[in-house]
A and B are shown apart, each in its own frame.
Chain A
Amino acid sequence: MWSLLLNTNTGWVLLSTTMLGIAAGAIGCLAYWKKQNLMSDALSHAALPGVVITFLIFQEKNLLLLVIGAGISALIGALLIQWITTSSRISEDAAMGMILSVFYGLGIMLLSIASRSSGGNQSGLDNFIFGQAAAMVRSDIRTMMMLAVIVILTVVIGFKEWKIYLFDQSFANSIGLPLKAMNTLYTFVLVVTIVIGIQAVGVILMAAILIIPAVSARYWTHSFKCMLIISSIFGAFSGAIGTLISAQGRGWPTGPFIVVVAASFFIFSLVFGKEKGLLIHYLHRQNQSKQYRVNQLPIKGAIK
Protein backbone atom coordinates (compact mmCIF):
# COMPACT_ATOMS: atom_id res chain seq x y z
CA MET A 1 0.00 0.00 0.00
CA TRP A 2 2.70 2.49 0.98
CA SER A 3 4.66 1.82 -2.15
CA LEU A 4 1.55 2.83 -4.03
CA LEU A 5 1.36 6.15 -2.24
CA LEU A 6 5.04 6.78 -2.76
CA ASN A 7 4.49 6.44 -6.44
CA THR A 8 3.80 10.12 -6.98
CA ASN A 9 1.27 9.78 -9.76
CA THR A 10 -0.90 7.47 -7.69
CA GLY A 11 -0.64 9.93 -4.80
CA TRP A 12 -1.85 12.72 -7.03
CA VAL A 13 -4.63 10.62 -8.48
CA LEU A 14 -5.70 9.73 -4.97
CA LEU A 15 -5.75 13.38 -3.94
CA SER A 16 -7.82 14.32 -6.98
CA THR A 17 -10.44 11.62 -6.48
CA THR A 18 -10.64 12.64 -2.81
CA MET A 19 -11.28 16.23 -3.84
CA LEU A 20 -13.82 15.02 -6.38
CA GLY A 21 -15.55 13.08 -3.59
CA ILE A 22 -15.74 16.19 -1.42
CA ALA A 23 -17.18 18.27 -4.24
CA ALA A 24 -19.65 15.56 -5.25
CA GLY A 25 -20.71 14.99 -1.63
CA ALA A 26 -21.42 18.69 -1.20
CA ILE A 27 -23.25 19.21 -4.51
CA GLY A 28 -25.10 15.95 -3.89
CA CYS A 29 -26.69 17.55 -0.82
CA LEU A 30 -27.95 20.43 -2.92
CA ALA A 31 -29.32 18.00 -5.51
CA TYR A 32 -30.93 15.93 -2.73
CA TRP A 33 -32.92 18.86 -1.36
CA LYS A 34 -33.64 20.23 -4.79
CA LYS A 35 -35.17 16.78 -5.35
CA GLN A 36 -33.16 16.36 -8.50
CA ASN A 37 -31.27 13.16 -7.95
CA LEU A 38 -32.26 11.70 -11.29
CA MET A 39 -31.22 14.95 -12.93
CA SER A 40 -27.59 14.32 -12.04
CA ASP A 41 -27.83 10.88 -13.62
CA ALA A 42 -29.36 12.34 -16.78
CA LEU A 43 -26.71 15.04 -16.98
CA SER A 44 -23.77 12.67 -16.55
CA HIS A 45 -25.05 10.43 -19.33
CA ALA A 46 -25.68 13.50 -21.45
CA ALA A 47 -22.01 14.44 -21.11
CA LEU A 48 -20.73 11.48 -23.15
CA PRO A 49 -21.46 12.73 -26.70
CA GLY A 50 -19.68 15.98 -25.82
CA VAL A 51 -16.56 14.09 -24.80
CA VAL A 52 -16.45 12.06 -28.01
CA ILE A 53 -17.29 14.97 -30.34
CA THR A 54 -14.57 17.10 -28.75
CA PHE A 55 -12.12 14.25 -29.25
CA LEU A 56 -13.17 13.83 -32.88
CA ILE A 57 -12.65 17.54 -33.52
CA PHE A 58 -9.31 18.03 -31.76
CA GLN A 59 -7.98 14.47 -32.11
CA GLU A 60 -6.28 14.69 -28.72
CA LYS A 61 -7.16 13.65 -25.21
CA ASN A 62 -6.75 16.91 -23.35
CA LEU A 63 -8.94 16.77 -20.22
CA LEU A 64 -9.70 20.48 -20.13
CA LEU A 65 -11.00 20.40 -23.71
CA LEU A 66 -12.95 17.20 -23.10
CA VAL A 67 -14.40 18.65 -19.91
CA ILE A 68 -15.59 21.72 -21.78
CA GLY A 69 -17.13 19.49 -24.46
CA ALA A 70 -18.77 17.33 -21.80
CA GLY A 71 -20.06 20.42 -20.02
CA ILE A 72 -21.62 21.86 -23.18
CA SER A 73 -23.27 18.56 -24.01
CA ALA A 74 -24.61 18.11 -20.45
CA LEU A 75 -25.94 21.67 -20.45
CA ILE A 76 -27.70 21.04 -23.77
CA GLY A 77 -29.22 17.97 -22.12
CA ALA A 78 -30.34 20.08 -19.15
CA LEU A 79 -31.87 22.72 -21.43
CA LEU A 80 -33.68 20.06 -23.46
CA ILE A 81 -35.13 18.51 -20.31
CA GLN A 82 -36.30 21.93 -19.17
CA TRP A 83 -37.71 22.74 -22.61
CA ILE A 84 -39.56 19.43 -22.93
CA THR A 85 -41.02 19.81 -19.44
CA THR A 86 -42.20 23.41 -19.82
CA SER A 87 -43.43 23.30 -23.40
CA SER A 88 -45.28 19.99 -23.39
CA ARG A 89 -47.33 17.78 -21.13
CA ILE A 90 -44.43 15.36 -20.72
CA SER A 91 -43.40 15.07 -17.08
CA GLU A 92 -39.88 15.81 -15.89
CA ASP A 93 -38.94 12.21 -15.11
CA ALA A 94 -40.02 11.06 -18.57
CA ALA A 95 -38.04 13.90 -20.13
CA MET A 96 -34.98 12.98 -18.07
CA GLY A 97 -35.34 9.31 -18.97
CA MET A 98 -35.45 10.16 -22.65
CA ILE A 99 -32.53 12.57 -22.63
CA LEU A 100 -30.46 10.19 -20.52
CA SER A 101 -30.80 7.24 -22.88
CA VAL A 102 -30.77 9.18 -26.15
CA PHE A 103 -27.62 11.11 -25.26
CA TYR A 104 -25.91 8.03 -23.92
CA GLY A 105 -26.84 6.08 -27.05
CA LEU A 106 -25.54 8.90 -29.21
CA GLY A 107 -22.32 8.92 -27.18
CA ILE A 108 -21.76 5.19 -27.60
CA MET A 109 -22.52 5.45 -31.32
CA LEU A 110 -19.99 8.24 -31.76
CA LEU A 111 -17.51 6.32 -29.63
CA SER A 112 -17.60 3.35 -31.99
CA ILE A 113 -17.09 5.69 -34.92
CA ALA A 114 -14.19 7.35 -33.13
CA SER A 115 -12.55 4.06 -32.30
CA ARG A 116 -12.70 2.96 -35.94
CA SER A 117 -11.45 6.26 -37.34
CA SER A 118 -8.45 6.55 -35.07
CA GLY A 119 -7.41 2.96 -35.62
CA GLY A 120 -8.64 0.71 -32.83
CA ASN A 121 -6.98 2.42 -29.92
CA GLN A 122 -9.03 5.54 -29.31
CA SER A 123 -6.50 6.63 -26.69
CA GLY A 124 -8.57 5.35 -23.80
CA LEU A 125 -11.71 7.26 -24.63
CA ASP A 126 -13.84 4.38 -23.39
CA ASN A 127 -12.36 5.07 -19.96
CA PHE A 128 -15.00 7.76 -19.76
CA ILE A 129 -17.70 5.13 -19.51
CA PHE A 130 -16.60 3.34 -16.33
CA GLY A 131 -13.84 5.69 -15.24
CA GLN A 132 -10.13 5.12 -15.09
CA ALA A 133 -8.50 7.41 -12.55
CA ALA A 134 -5.05 5.96 -13.13
CA ALA A 135 -5.17 7.08 -16.75
CA MET A 136 -5.10 10.71 -15.69
CA VAL A 137 -1.90 12.62 -16.28
CA ARG A 138 -0.60 15.44 -14.11
CA SER A 139 -2.24 18.21 -16.16
CA ASP A 140 -5.60 16.40 -16.02
CA ILE A 141 -5.29 16.20 -12.26
CA ARG A 142 -4.51 19.91 -11.99
CA THR A 143 -7.57 20.78 -14.09
CA MET A 144 -9.75 18.50 -12.04
CA MET A 145 -8.56 19.78 -8.66
CA MET A 146 -8.88 23.41 -9.64
CA LEU A 147 -12.48 22.90 -10.75
CA ALA A 148 -13.26 20.85 -7.63
CA VAL A 149 -11.99 23.70 -5.44
CA ILE A 150 -14.21 26.16 -7.32
CA VAL A 151 -17.23 23.92 -6.76
CA ILE A 152 -16.47 23.46 -3.05
CA LEU A 153 -15.96 27.20 -2.53
CA THR A 154 -19.21 27.99 -4.32
CA VAL A 155 -21.09 25.84 -1.82
CA VAL A 156 -19.17 27.04 1.24
CA ILE A 157 -19.32 30.77 0.51
CA GLY A 158 -23.01 30.74 -0.36
CA PHE A 159 -23.95 28.26 2.37
CA LYS A 160 -26.61 30.45 3.96
CA GLU A 161 -28.06 31.40 0.58
CA TRP A 162 -28.14 27.81 -0.67
CA LYS A 163 -29.94 26.79 2.49
CA ILE A 164 -32.85 29.19 2.05
CA TYR A 165 -32.88 28.57 -1.71
CA LEU A 166 -33.38 24.88 -1.06
CA PHE A 167 -35.76 25.21 1.87
CA ASP A 168 -38.15 27.95 0.79
CA GLN A 169 -37.84 29.37 -2.72
CA SER A 170 -40.75 31.77 -2.58
CA PHE A 171 -39.54 33.31 0.67
CA ALA A 172 -35.99 33.43 -0.70
CA ASN A 173 -37.29 35.34 -3.67
CA SER A 174 -39.33 37.69 -1.50
CA ILE A 175 -36.22 38.74 0.42
CA GLY A 176 -34.40 39.49 -2.79
CA LEU A 177 -32.45 36.34 -3.58
CA PRO A 178 -32.07 36.12 -7.38
CA LEU A 179 -33.68 32.73 -8.00
CA LYS A 180 -32.94 32.57 -11.70
CA ALA A 181 -29.26 33.32 -11.15
CA MET A 182 -29.12 30.70 -8.39
CA ASN A 183 -30.79 28.11 -10.60
CA THR A 184 -28.21 28.79 -13.28
CA LEU A 185 -25.35 28.65 -10.80
CA TYR A 186 -26.70 25.42 -9.33
CA THR A 187 -26.92 23.75 -12.76
CA PHE A 188 -23.47 25.08 -13.57
CA VAL A 189 -21.75 23.67 -10.47
CA LEU A 190 -23.65 20.40 -10.86
CA VAL A 191 -22.43 20.07 -14.45
CA VAL A 192 -18.87 21.04 -13.48
CA THR A 193 -18.85 18.37 -10.75
CA ILE A 194 -20.17 15.77 -13.17
CA VAL A 195 -17.70 16.54 -15.94
CA ILE A 196 -14.65 16.59 -13.69
CA GLY A 197 -15.77 13.23 -12.36
CA ILE A 198 -16.38 11.46 -15.64
CA GLN A 199 -12.74 10.56 -16.25
CA ALA A 200 -12.28 9.12 -12.77
CA VAL A 201 -15.74 7.65 -12.17
CA GLY A 202 -17.27 7.42 -15.65
CA VAL A 203 -20.55 8.71 -17.04
CA ILE A 204 -22.59 5.68 -16.02
CA LEU A 205 -21.75 5.76 -12.33
CA MET A 206 -21.03 9.45 -11.78
CA ALA A 207 -24.51 10.11 -10.45
CA ALA A 208 -23.98 7.50 -7.72
CA ILE A 209 -21.23 9.48 -6.05
CA LEU A 210 -23.49 12.53 -6.12
CA ILE A 211 -26.48 10.75 -4.69
CA ILE A 212 -25.21 8.06 -2.28
CA PRO A 213 -23.05 10.17 0.11
CA ALA A 214 -25.85 12.73 0.54
CA VAL A 215 -28.44 10.04 1.21
CA SER A 216 -26.10 8.36 3.70
CA ALA A 217 -25.37 11.63 5.51
CA ARG A 218 -29.11 12.14 6.06
CA TYR A 219 -29.01 9.24 8.54
CA TRP A 220 -26.58 11.00 10.85
CA THR A 221 -27.82 14.52 11.38
CA HIS A 222 -30.67 17.00 11.58
CA SER A 223 -28.54 19.96 10.57
CA PHE A 224 -27.98 20.99 6.98
CA LYS A 225 -24.41 22.09 7.73
CA CYS A 226 -23.54 18.73 9.29
CA MET A 227 -25.22 16.95 6.42
CA LEU A 228 -22.98 18.81 3.95
CA ILE A 229 -19.87 18.01 5.97
CA ILE A 230 -20.70 14.34 6.53
CA SER A 231 -21.70 13.87 2.92
CA SER A 232 -18.40 15.41 1.80
CA ILE A 233 -16.47 13.12 4.14
CA PHE A 234 -18.29 10.05 2.81
CA GLY A 235 -17.61 11.27 -0.72
CA ALA A 236 -13.93 11.85 0.04
CA PHE A 237 -13.42 8.39 1.53
CA SER A 238 -15.41 6.72 -1.24
CA GLY A 239 -13.20 8.44 -3.81
CA ALA A 240 -9.96 7.65 -2.01
CA ILE A 241 -10.67 4.04 -1.00
CA GLY A 242 -12.24 3.21 -4.36
CA THR A 243 -9.20 4.57 -6.18
CA LEU A 244 -6.82 2.64 -3.92
CA ILE A 245 -8.62 -0.64 -4.44
CA SER A 246 -8.90 -0.22 -8.21
CA ALA A 247 -5.18 0.56 -8.35
CA GLN A 248 -4.48 -2.96 -7.09
CA GLY A 249 -5.27 -4.51 -10.44
CA ARG A 250 -4.07 -3.51 -13.87
CA GLY A 251 -6.84 -1.84 -15.86
CA TRP A 252 -9.45 -2.16 -13.13
CA PRO A 253 -11.99 0.62 -13.63
CA THR A 254 -12.25 3.15 -10.79
CA GLY A 255 -15.94 4.04 -10.93
CA PRO A 256 -17.42 0.72 -9.82
CA PHE A 257 -15.07 0.51 -6.82
CA ILE A 258 -15.86 4.05 -5.72
CA VAL A 259 -19.56 3.31 -5.97
CA VAL A 260 -19.27 0.06 -4.03
CA VAL A 261 -17.34 1.83 -1.25
CA ALA A 262 -19.96 4.60 -1.18
CA ALA A 263 -22.68 1.95 -1.00
CA SER A 264 -21.03 0.29 1.99
CA PHE A 265 -21.01 3.68 3.76
CA PHE A 266 -24.70 3.86 2.95
CA ILE A 267 -25.44 0.43 4.41
CA PHE A 268 -23.45 1.31 7.53
CA SER A 269 -25.43 4.56 7.87
CA LEU A 270 -28.73 2.83 7.23
CA VAL A 271 -28.11 0.49 10.15
CA PHE A 272 -26.08 2.57 12.61
CA GLY A 273 -27.11 6.13 11.68
CA LYS A 274 -27.53 8.30 14.76
CA GLU A 275 -30.75 9.99 13.69
CA LYS A 276 -32.64 7.72 11.35
CA GLY A 277 -30.70 4.47 11.47
CA LEU A 278 -32.57 1.18 11.82
CA LEU A 279 -30.73 0.22 15.01
CA ILE A 280 -31.56 3.49 16.75
CA HIS A 281 -35.18 3.11 15.74
CA TYR A 282 -35.23 -0.41 17.12
CA LEU A 283 -33.59 0.53 20.44
CA HIS A 284 -35.88 3.51 20.76
CA ARG A 285 -38.93 1.31 20.33
CA GLN A 286 -37.61 -1.26 22.80
CA ASN A 287 -36.99 1.51 25.31
CA GLN A 288 -40.46 2.92 24.83
CA SER A 289 -42.19 -0.38 25.38
CA LYS A 290 -40.02 -1.03 28.45
CA GLN A 291 -40.98 2.35 29.88
CA TYR A 292 -44.58 1.65 29.11
CA ARG A 293 -44.41 -1.62 31.00
CA VAL A 294 -42.74 0.08 33.98
CA ASN A 295 -45.43 2.76 34.02
CA GLN A 296 -48.10 0.10 34.05
CA LEU A 297 -46.87 -1.54 37.24
CA PRO A 298 -47.94 1.03 39.85
CA ILE A 299 -51.37 1.26 38.24
CA LYS A 300 -51.80 -2.48 38.62
CA GLY A 301 -50.80 -2.11 42.26
CA ALA A 302 -53.29 0.66 42.80
CA ILE A 303 -56.14 -1.42 41.47
CA LYS A 304 -55.32 -4.16 43.90
Chain B
Amino acid sequence: MSQPVISVKHLVAAYQKNTVLENVSFSIPAGSLTAIVGPNGAGKSTLMKVLLNLHPAITGDITFFGRPFKEVKKRIGYVPQRGSVDWDFPTDALDVVTMGLYGDIGWFKHPKKQHKARAFEALEKMGMQAYAHRQISQLSGGQQQRVFLARALVQNADIYFMDEPLAGVDAATERAIMATLKKLNALGKTVIVVHHDLQTVEDYFDHVLFLNQTIISHGKTQDVFSKDNIRRTYGGNIRWLGGVD
Protein backbone atom coordinates (compact mmCIF):
# COMPACT_ATOMS: atom_id res chain seq x y z
CA MET B 1 0.00 0.00 0.00
CA SER B 2 1.28 3.46 -0.85
CA GLN B 3 1.97 6.13 1.69
CA PRO B 4 -1.13 7.72 3.30
CA VAL B 5 -1.98 11.28 2.24
CA ILE B 6 -4.59 11.73 4.94
CA SER B 7 -4.21 10.43 8.42
CA VAL B 8 -6.90 10.79 11.08
CA LYS B 9 -6.41 9.68 14.67
CA HIS B 10 -8.95 9.47 17.49
CA LEU B 11 -11.22 12.12 16.06
CA VAL B 12 -14.28 13.19 18.09
CA ALA B 13 -16.79 15.77 16.87
CA ALA B 14 -20.22 16.90 18.02
CA TYR B 15 -23.14 19.16 17.17
CA GLN B 16 -24.11 20.90 20.38
CA LYS B 17 -24.64 18.02 22.83
CA ASN B 18 -24.83 15.17 20.33
CA THR B 19 -21.64 13.35 19.55
CA VAL B 20 -21.61 12.73 15.81
CA LEU B 21 -18.17 11.22 15.37
CA GLU B 22 -16.63 8.97 17.97
CA ASN B 23 -13.02 7.90 18.03
CA VAL B 24 -12.62 7.94 14.26
CA SER B 25 -9.22 6.79 13.03
CA PHE B 26 -8.24 5.95 9.47
CA SER B 27 -5.75 6.76 6.78
CA ILE B 28 -6.29 7.28 3.08
CA PRO B 29 -3.62 6.00 0.68
CA ALA B 30 -2.32 8.29 -2.08
CA GLY B 31 -4.06 8.01 -5.42
CA SER B 32 -7.08 6.19 -4.06
CA LEU B 33 -10.70 6.75 -4.95
CA THR B 34 -12.59 6.34 -1.70
CA ALA B 35 -16.31 6.23 -1.00
CA ILE B 36 -17.56 7.18 2.44
CA VAL B 37 -20.81 5.31 2.98
CA GLY B 38 -23.21 5.08 5.88
CA PRO B 39 -26.83 5.70 6.83
CA ASN B 40 -28.34 9.17 7.27
CA GLY B 41 -26.97 10.86 10.35
CA ALA B 42 -23.88 8.66 10.35
CA GLY B 43 -21.68 11.75 10.27
CA LYS B 44 -20.44 11.51 6.66
CA SER B 45 -20.79 15.19 5.84
CA THR B 46 -19.62 16.14 9.32
CA LEU B 47 -16.48 14.06 8.88
CA MET B 48 -15.76 15.89 5.63
CA LYS B 49 -16.40 19.26 7.25
CA VAL B 50 -14.14 18.48 10.19
CA LEU B 51 -11.37 17.35 7.84
CA LEU B 52 -11.70 20.62 5.93
CA ASN B 53 -11.74 22.70 9.10
CA LEU B 54 -15.32 23.83 8.44
CA HIS B 55 -16.52 22.31 11.71
CA PRO B 56 -14.43 22.09 14.88
CA ALA B 57 -13.19 18.77 16.23
CA ILE B 58 -13.38 18.18 19.98
CA THR B 59 -10.22 16.10 19.99
CA GLY B 60 -8.21 14.22 17.43
CA ASP B 61 -5.31 14.59 15.11
CA ILE B 62 -5.70 15.20 11.38
CA THR B 63 -2.79 15.49 8.96
CA PHE B 64 -2.49 15.82 5.19
CA PHE B 65 0.85 14.75 3.71
CA GLY B 66 1.97 14.63 7.36
CA ARG B 67 1.16 18.31 7.89
CA PRO B 68 -1.78 20.20 9.40
CA PHE B 69 -4.63 21.40 7.16
CA LYS B 70 -3.69 25.06 7.23
CA GLU B 71 -0.28 24.42 5.66
CA VAL B 72 -1.63 22.38 2.77
CA LYS B 73 -4.94 24.16 2.14
CA LYS B 74 -3.98 24.97 -1.44
CA ARG B 75 -3.50 21.31 -2.30
CA ILE B 76 -7.04 20.44 -1.25
CA GLY B 77 -10.13 20.89 -3.40
CA TYR B 78 -13.70 20.76 -2.15
CA VAL B 79 -17.05 20.20 -3.83
CA PRO B 80 -19.83 21.07 -1.33
CA GLN B 81 -23.31 19.61 -1.53
CA ARG B 82 -25.22 21.22 -4.36
CA GLY B 83 -28.03 22.19 -2.00
CA SER B 84 -25.70 24.17 0.24
CA VAL B 85 -25.82 27.27 -1.95
CA ASP B 86 -28.58 29.51 -3.32
CA TRP B 87 -28.58 28.93 -7.09
CA ASP B 88 -30.67 32.06 -7.54
CA PHE B 89 -27.53 34.11 -6.87
CA PRO B 90 -26.97 36.43 -9.85
CA THR B 91 -23.99 34.96 -11.66
CA ASP B 92 -23.16 32.65 -14.57
CA ALA B 93 -21.48 29.26 -14.83
CA LEU B 94 -18.11 30.62 -15.95
CA ASP B 95 -18.01 33.01 -13.02
CA VAL B 96 -18.65 30.22 -10.52
CA VAL B 97 -15.84 28.14 -12.03
CA THR B 98 -13.54 31.17 -11.88
CA MET B 99 -14.11 31.18 -8.10
CA GLY B 100 -11.94 28.05 -8.00
CA LEU B 101 -9.02 30.23 -9.12
CA TYR B 102 -9.39 32.91 -6.46
CA GLY B 103 -6.38 31.50 -4.60
CA ASP B 104 -4.25 31.90 -7.74
CA ILE B 105 -5.65 35.30 -8.66
CA GLY B 106 -4.81 36.70 -5.24
CA TRP B 107 -6.89 38.69 -2.80
CA PHE B 108 -8.55 41.88 -4.04
CA LYS B 109 -7.32 41.37 -7.61
CA HIS B 110 -9.51 40.92 -10.65
CA PRO B 111 -9.46 37.69 -12.66
CA LYS B 112 -7.53 38.10 -15.90
CA LYS B 113 -8.14 36.67 -19.36
CA GLN B 114 -5.96 33.64 -18.68
CA HIS B 115 -8.03 32.82 -15.59
CA LYS B 116 -11.25 33.03 -17.57
CA ALA B 117 -9.65 30.82 -20.25
CA ARG B 118 -8.69 28.21 -17.65
CA ALA B 119 -12.18 28.30 -16.19
CA PHE B 120 -13.65 27.85 -19.67
CA GLU B 121 -11.36 24.90 -20.28
CA ALA B 122 -12.61 23.23 -17.10
CA LEU B 123 -16.20 23.76 -18.22
CA GLU B 124 -15.28 22.17 -21.54
CA LYS B 125 -13.89 19.13 -19.73
CA MET B 126 -17.28 18.74 -18.04
CA GLY B 127 -19.08 19.15 -21.38
CA MET B 128 -20.53 22.46 -20.21
CA GLN B 129 -18.90 24.93 -22.62
CA ALA B 130 -22.26 25.79 -24.20
CA TYR B 131 -23.53 26.93 -20.81
CA ALA B 132 -20.60 29.16 -19.82
CA HIS B 133 -22.65 32.33 -19.83
CA ARG B 134 -25.88 30.74 -18.68
CA GLN B 135 -27.42 31.98 -15.47
CA ILE B 136 -26.78 29.37 -12.80
CA SER B 137 -30.44 29.43 -11.78
CA GLN B 138 -31.34 28.25 -15.29
CA LEU B 139 -29.13 25.15 -15.13
CA SER B 140 -30.52 21.74 -14.29
CA GLY B 141 -29.40 19.98 -11.12
CA GLY B 142 -26.95 17.84 -13.06
CA GLN B 143 -25.51 20.85 -14.86
CA GLN B 144 -25.10 22.70 -11.59
CA GLN B 145 -23.19 19.73 -10.20
CA ARG B 146 -20.93 19.76 -13.26
CA VAL B 147 -20.23 23.45 -12.73
CA PHE B 148 -19.21 22.66 -9.16
CA LEU B 149 -16.93 19.91 -10.37
CA ALA B 150 -15.40 22.20 -13.00
CA ARG B 151 -14.69 24.69 -10.22
CA ALA B 152 -12.87 21.96 -8.31
CA LEU B 153 -10.91 20.98 -11.44
CA VAL B 154 -9.44 24.46 -11.94
CA GLN B 155 -8.12 24.34 -8.39
CA ASN B 156 -5.72 21.66 -9.60
CA ALA B 157 -5.55 20.16 -6.13
CA ASP B 158 -3.92 16.91 -5.01
CA ILE B 159 -6.76 15.81 -2.78
CA TYR B 160 -10.43 16.26 -3.63
CA PHE B 161 -13.32 16.07 -1.20
CA MET B 162 -16.78 15.77 -2.71
CA ASP B 163 -19.99 15.76 -0.72
CA GLU B 164 -22.60 13.65 -2.54
CA PRO B 165 -21.70 14.75 -6.08
CA LEU B 166 -23.97 12.09 -7.52
CA ALA B 167 -27.06 12.91 -5.47
CA GLY B 168 -30.05 13.75 -7.65
CA VAL B 169 -28.20 14.00 -10.96
CA ASP B 170 -29.23 12.48 -14.29
CA ALA B 171 -27.52 9.42 -15.75
CA ALA B 172 -25.46 11.44 -18.25
CA THR B 173 -24.10 13.67 -15.51
CA GLU B 174 -23.33 10.67 -13.33
CA ARG B 175 -21.29 9.18 -16.18
CA ALA B 176 -19.52 12.50 -16.85
CA ILE B 177 -18.68 12.96 -13.18
CA MET B 178 -17.41 9.42 -12.73
CA ALA B 179 -15.29 9.70 -15.88
CA THR B 180 -13.78 12.88 -14.44
CA LEU B 181 -13.09 11.24 -11.09
CA LYS B 182 -11.37 8.31 -12.78
CA LYS B 183 -9.30 10.74 -14.83
CA LEU B 184 -8.26 12.62 -11.70
CA ASN B 185 -7.44 9.30 -10.14
CA ALA B 186 -5.31 8.31 -13.13
CA LEU B 187 -3.36 11.54 -12.67
CA GLY B 188 -2.46 10.36 -9.17
CA LYS B 189 -4.94 12.55 -7.32
CA THR B 190 -6.66 11.29 -4.21
CA VAL B 191 -10.44 11.57 -4.28
CA ILE B 192 -12.78 11.11 -1.31
CA VAL B 193 -16.49 11.05 -2.03
CA VAL B 194 -19.49 10.92 0.28
CA HIS B 195 -21.63 8.39 -1.54
CA HIS B 196 -25.17 7.21 -1.00
CA ASP B 197 -25.73 4.52 -3.60
CA LEU B 198 -24.46 1.14 -2.41
CA GLN B 199 -25.21 -0.46 -5.79
CA THR B 200 -22.48 1.49 -7.56
CA VAL B 201 -19.77 1.37 -4.91
CA GLU B 202 -18.01 -1.65 -6.41
CA ASP B 203 -18.00 -0.19 -9.93
CA TYR B 204 -16.89 3.28 -8.99
CA PHE B 205 -14.52 3.15 -6.02
CA ASP B 206 -11.36 1.26 -5.14
CA HIS B 207 -11.62 2.00 -1.41
CA VAL B 208 -14.61 2.11 0.94
CA LEU B 209 -14.97 3.64 4.36
CA PHE B 210 -18.02 2.40 6.27
CA LEU B 211 -19.04 5.03 8.76
CA ASN B 212 -21.69 5.11 11.42
CA GLN B 213 -20.49 7.56 14.04
CA THR B 214 -17.33 5.54 14.14
CA ILE B 215 -15.42 3.58 11.51
CA ILE B 216 -17.11 0.22 10.97
CA SER B 217 -14.68 -0.94 8.35
CA HIS B 218 -12.22 0.59 5.92
CA GLY B 219 -10.02 -0.77 3.15
CA LYS B 220 -9.95 -1.85 -0.47
CA THR B 221 -13.39 -2.33 -1.91
CA GLN B 222 -12.73 -5.95 -2.81
CA ASP B 223 -11.67 -6.72 0.77
CA VAL B 224 -14.27 -4.87 2.84
CA PHE B 225 -17.37 -4.42 0.70
CA SER B 226 -19.30 -7.32 2.19
CA LYS B 227 -22.84 -8.04 3.27
CA ASP B 228 -21.62 -8.28 6.82
CA ASN B 229 -20.05 -4.80 6.84
CA ILE B 230 -23.09 -3.27 5.17
CA ARG B 231 -25.35 -4.80 7.79
CA ARG B 232 -23.08 -3.65 10.60
CA THR B 233 -23.10 -0.12 9.21
CA TYR B 234 -26.74 0.23 8.30
CA GLY B 235 -28.26 -2.04 10.94
CA GLY B 236 -31.20 -4.14 9.86
CA ASN B 237 -32.73 -1.36 7.79
CA ILE B 238 -31.00 -1.98 4.51
CA ARG B 239 -33.30 -3.19 1.75
CA TRP B 240 -30.77 -3.78 -0.93
CA LEU B 241 -28.19 -6.48 -0.34
CA GLY B 242 -28.10 -8.20 -3.69
CA GLY B 243 -24.90 -9.02 -5.52
CA VAL B 244 -22.65 -8.85 -2.49
CA ASP B 245 -21.18 -11.91 -0.87
Contact = CB atoms under 8 A, between A and B. Distances in A.
A168 B84 contact: yes
A218 interface: yes
A163 interface: yes
Interface stretch (B103-111, B183-191, B201-209, B217-225): B103-111
Main secondary structure of the interface of A (DSSP, over half): helix
B53 interface: yes
A227 interface: yes
Given A174-B77, A175-B155, A223-B92, 12 more contacts: A160-B111, A161-B107, A164-B102, A168-B84, A168-B85, A171-B78, A171-B99, A171-B151, A173-B54, A223-B90, A224-B91, A227-B90
Interface size class of A (residues with CB under 8 A): 20 to 34
B52 A174 contact: yes
Given A157-B108, A173-B54, A222 B135 contact: yes
B86 A170 contact: no
Complex A-B, nearest 3 residue pairs according to Cβ-Cβ distance, in ascending order: A174-B78, A168-B85, A170-B80
A33 interface: yes
B89 interface: yes
B76 interface: yes
Contacts of B76: 174
Given A168-B99, A170-B78, A174-B52, A222 B108 contact: no
A221 B90 contact: yes
B73 interface: yes
B86 A33 contact: yes
Interface string B25-69: 000000000000000000000000100111000000000000000
A170 B135 CA distance: 21
A158 to B, nearest CB: 6
A301 interface: no
A221 B92 CA distance: 12
